Chain A
């Protein structure tokens, strides 16, 4: 028997003339945690789709050898039968069904076509124990946090007698606590003999958990690094990922004397009538001209809600307290009022509520400022193309043309389109919610560079981020939120990972 549980040899996959994978070799030992890393578009997801049968046998070249047998997966269920289960970034759970129904969805415990629900519940309890999740099996999935849903997905995989578990950016949407929890679970599963492939952009995780890491770049295998040989270090990974050394992923900017406050909030609270509770409580903060204010905190601490309450009260909260823009008291009735006053908000969920995925790049860029390209309500389409093209060039948006649908772009380029849309409204205050979530190192660097340029031009930025490195690397000042309240303010000199986390977990 070979030492490898999985060997992918010479995999080549083409999409209408474009080589997504070119002669990729990927080998995984039994019982190890193997991280797959690379920039967006490097081919990680495509490789995993080939492995799981999403791209069926015959549409690619090369061999998949699993447990010493050449496999021919024609559909996803073929790979599941052999014990390969993939958990995607966008979780595939049914929010309105219970935990036990979800765990056994598609794999029901049945006798002669009739589902045995009692047995299902008993089995679910065992699986929940295995993944260390303490919830009742009849809880509805929509009532669980993202972190817990992730564990349900793993329980679901375990119910199928998984031998090789593949996780696509499992911690992208998780806070630090839930992430650590998940990584701990993966280590335990490893001891139980389950092999695991994890795609991740978070290098710290990779360093802490991986036995081996394979780096892909432009559809090719660059190298496989081994933890045992001390090869898995941040610099080394980044160097192999981008093919060059990035000395500092956070570009420097000239620290200038900050100007007068552009935004001030006093005793600011927001009550969500739908949830029936305060989502933002008693906030006092200010943002000066020409500074980046970082807002750190765990997911669900009220950061996004704070942003939305500032941005024209987009979710119709009941607001208490005062907002001052340039010293003048302000009350917004609608997002359009906020845009008018010079505030822009780049959402954390660019696919969900940021972009018009079935519209082209130029319509997306002009969407928030159609007045800027129209006269008396009639749009000048040529002007629109000109504007969109200028942002395509200045933000380095990689696309075949301005007519390409936003939905067909990679994550980094989608984020740049989002950014371009909001730069076109010429804001004075830019609120960036998780500006670099799910995008690769190269695109991150470009977005940071744009942020610095905007600051030089006199804009102010509020940056909401779960990545502490980003908060520390980019901010002039940091506020920390926890449980809907502002727990503290730190100057960039005094801020560090420890004291931010301490405030965030209060």
Chain B
């Protein structure tokens, strides 16, 4: 079993690298802050602050996978957040109508970028750089007269600040959150077992039984531990739930569906994809459309978190998202990169900020260290790829 574990780790070192890095970062900060870093309150805040970048990073990963880039998403998020604020306050539209409208507007913006890139053939860097300038202007335009728009809609603000209801407390822990964690563990175990059974039905090799049980136990304990930490404060925030839902949907789409395969095929070799009957333009539209929708979602999360729309919302979101995607292992050469990696990348970057803030590290050093981590992640990626 020791041998098997060793072989497993060696074969997947690239995939595990990020998780190990995240673990090391958490451990280091926990020790340096005497446990303050791993406290329920800090972890909860950390995840909430990662949310609006994480959803961007997930969609950005797919953009980079198909060999493009989207620089416009930061100000698109800022602009659409402002539009949401205007709808909710000045127009008095209900929150349940405003959110779908904003998401659809996001898709429209994304599809327009897709049109420029796929149909007109403009390099995505230039097309979305233009979009970045345009939406920066648009954000200023809509917030110019009023300045910051304060939102007093509790339902909307809960998306960025609220937590799922507790129902009741168990020993001071958040009951519904414990339940969500438990359901998560059961779903995970169920899907792994079905997966294993299917493989056995095909008479394929599977992990040995003790190794399999060890793996199940390991992942379950991690989920349980995170749930326990969060349940000790206010439980799962709505932001975390949104983030988990986005990752779940994108992970499923990219790994299990024909659409996902087509996206990676286009990224891996567009000419070969075209000759394999894959509609490259359609895929480009879909990926940019999804990016636009996630930009809208990011705008909603950020605006709700601040409970207001500001004139500078969205500044540098796009670069934070790109950094998170690269820390998460996406390759600029196309065709390689996972959405689970992007979310870990976003959490790594948020952990660095949070940890360094707790330690009182100056902002100048924070930027340098985050830059170093980004470079280090890409170096690790390049080195491990060479050896394969």
Contact = CB atoms under 8 A, between A and B. Distances in A.
Contacts of B279: 334, 336
Contact of A379 (B261, B269, B388): B261
Given A352-B271, A353-B274, A354-B275, 14 more contacts: A336-B279, A339-B277, A353-B275, A354-B272, A356-B268, A357-B268, A357-B269, A363-B261, A367-B261, A378-B257, A382-B204, A385-B202, A405-B388, A421-B276
Contact of B258 (A370, A386, A421): A370
Contacts of A336: 277-279
Interface string B328-360: 000001011000000000000000000000000
Interface string B73-86: 00000000000000
B278 to A, nearest CB: 7
B152 interface: no
B264 interface: yes
12 contacts: A312-B277, A335-B274, A336-B277, A345-B275, A347-B275, A353-B271, A353-B274, A355-B272, A356-B335, A358-B336, A359-B335, A382-B198
A132 interface: no
A183 to B, nearest CB: 32
A399 interface: no
Nearest to A353: B271
Contacts of B259: 377
Among B199, B202, B333, residue most surrounded by chain A Cβ atoms (within 10 Å):
B202
Contact of B202 (A377, A379, A382, A405): A382
Given A334-B277, A336-B279, A382 B269 contact: no
Contacts of A105: none
The CB with the most chain B CB atoms within 10 A, among A312, A368, A386, is that of A368
B293 to A, nearest CB: 19
Which of B269, B333, B335 has its CB near the most chain A CB atoms (within 10 A)? B269
Interface in A275-323: 311-312, 314
A48 to B, nearest CB: 23
B264 A377 contact: no
Nearest to A356: B268
A382 B200 CA distance: 10
Q: What range describes how many residues of B lie at the interface?
A: 20 to 34
Contacts of A385: 202, 204
Interface residues of A, number: 36
B256 interface: yes
A338 B275 CA distance: 10
Nearest to B333: A358
B202 A367 contact: no
B265 interface: yes
Contact of B269 (A338, A356, A421): A356
Contacts of B275: 311, 314, 335, 345, 347, 353-354
B169 to A, nearest CB: 40
Contacts of A386: 202
B174 interface: no
A339 B277 CA distance: 7
B262 interface: yes
Contacts of B268: 356-359
Contacts of A352: 271
A371 B275 CA distance: 16
A357 B201 CA distance: 30
A429 to B, nearest CB: 15
A357 B268 CA distance: 8
A464 to B, nearest CB: 15
